[in-house]
Amino acid sequence: TLRQSVASLLGRADVEISTAGSVAEALALLREITFDCVVTDLGFPEQNGHELLESLARGEPYSVPPVIVYTGRDLLPDEEQQLHRYSRSIIIKGVRSPERLLDEVTLFLHQVESELAPEQQRLLSQARRREALFEGRTILVVEDDVRNVFALSNVLEPRGARVVIARNGREALAALDREARVDLVLMDVMMPEMDGLEATRLIRQDARRARLPIVMLTAKAMPDDQQRCLEAGASDYLAKPLDVEMLLSLLRVWMPRTP
């Protein structure tokens, strides 16, 4: 069964694994044992996985470890956003999902990679090089600070994304006209010549780009800055200095899964 396959993938001598086939079984185990990590699907025979997550979010009398959702179906953006309230990571079952699942669990259990079995080390190496969601995607990075461009490229390109760079809003508009396809825009707010807010407004005036995901990057984390970004037409907002895991989570939410 899938449960046994996942247990086999994650198992090693110093990891104790418990399995449950229903929400009720899972909650019963969580009452009795303090777990370091929970891996769950969303589909159970009698209840859906959301009820398990909501029970955990309410806390007592359960231990509340990091939760990884390992689901067999593509999620709508609204569903994915809702799940991120409860879950540290969402993994869609696909070609590379076992590697990603092993990667996430290793992280949460604070395991030392060099101590893993050779096959697990090989899977982790593959997972870190590529991620199915980013493979072949084009991300436009609009940023005038070369250090930030370098940092973002170092996060995105090893995962398989193609990065197009623009240094200001004018260059961003030109890049969108030039490129056959852009899957998502990471847009700095403060830039010379044309700032990110004006560029975003102009992008949204083009009906072809009404649904293009635009994530604004700003040095300020004030509520009114967030509001200004959203009013300009941004899909979402991320404050600098950038948290890599938060950035990747946002990209997973906003970037379409299918070409």
Domains and CATH numbers, the chain: 2-115 (3.40.50.2300), 129-254 (3.40.50.2300)
Please tell me the predicted confidence (pLDDT) of residue 152.
93
Q: Partners of 39 in the beta sheet? A: 68
- pLDDT tens, residue order, the chain (259 aa): 567 777 777 776 667 888 888 888 888 888 888 887 788 887 766 666 777 787 777 765 666 677 778 777 666 767 777 777 777 666 555 545 676 677 777 766 655 556 667 776 776 666 555 566 787 889 999 998 888 898 999 889 878 889 999 999 999 999 999 998 899 999 998 888 888 899 999 999 998 898 899 999 987 656 677 788 888 999 988 888 888 888 888 888 888 555 4
Alpha carbon separation from 77 to 26, 69, 217, 222, 250 (Å, rounded)? 27, 15, 20, 25, 10
User: Are the C-beta atoms of 143 and 172 separated by less than 8 Å?
Assistant: no
Please tell me the predicted confidence (pLDDT) of residue 259.
41
State the burial class of residue 216 (Cβ atoms within 10 Å of its Cβ: 0-12, 13-18, 19+): buried
CA-to-CA distance for 226 and 220, rounded, in angstroms?
Answer: 9
User: Are the C-beta atoms of 232 and 200 separated by less than 8 Å?
Assistant: yes
Please tell me the predicted confidence (pLDDT) of residue 51.
78
